Amino acid sequence: LNCCAFNSFRFLVKGGLAGAAVYVAYDQGLLGSGIEGAEALKKAQETLPPAIQEWTDYLGWELPSTPKIDFSLSASWNKGVHTVMSALSAAPSRACEYTVEGWKYVKDLVK
């Protein structure tokens, strides 16, 4: 294979893998609503540890135990949205306060 054909082949393989990853993410509900994403995360947390344990037993590896994480994706998302919306709703009054303080500072410099 010449260089151009090899680069084209690499591009096709990478594009195929990226497309497959997007398809799997969409198929598993990761690109849906927050509730669908939380359900997909819960399903992954239930499925992955037994699969990893099976492979480590097969290969003869010993992995440390995984820490238990109590994390609610939808609650964290909702808290983040609430924080951003609170900041945006307070932005006009904060901008006004900062403008008044700025004008006072400029007036004090001019005196």
**DSSP for 6-37, written as a single string:** HHHHHHHHHHHHHHHHHHHHHHTTTTS-HHHH
Quick one: pLDDT at residue 66? 64
Tell me which DSSP letter residue 61 carries. Answer: -
Residues 6 and 42 reside in one and the same domain: yes
* pLDDT band with cut points at 50, 70 and 90 for residue 15: confident
> pTM (2 decimals)?
0.35
Ramachandran assignment for 69, one of left (phi > 0), alpha (psi -120 to 50 degrees), beta (any other) = beta
Whether 103 maps to a domain, the answer reads: yes
Q: Total structural domains in the chain?
A: 2
pLDDT tens-digit readout, 67-95: 676 767 677 777 888 888 888 888 888 88
The conformation of residue 66, written as its DSSP 8-state character, comes to: P
Range of the domain at 86: 73-110
Residue at 60 is within a domain: no
pLDDT over 70, % of the chain: 89
In Å, how far from its chain's centre is CA 57?
A: 31
Q: Is residue 68 part of a domain?
A: no
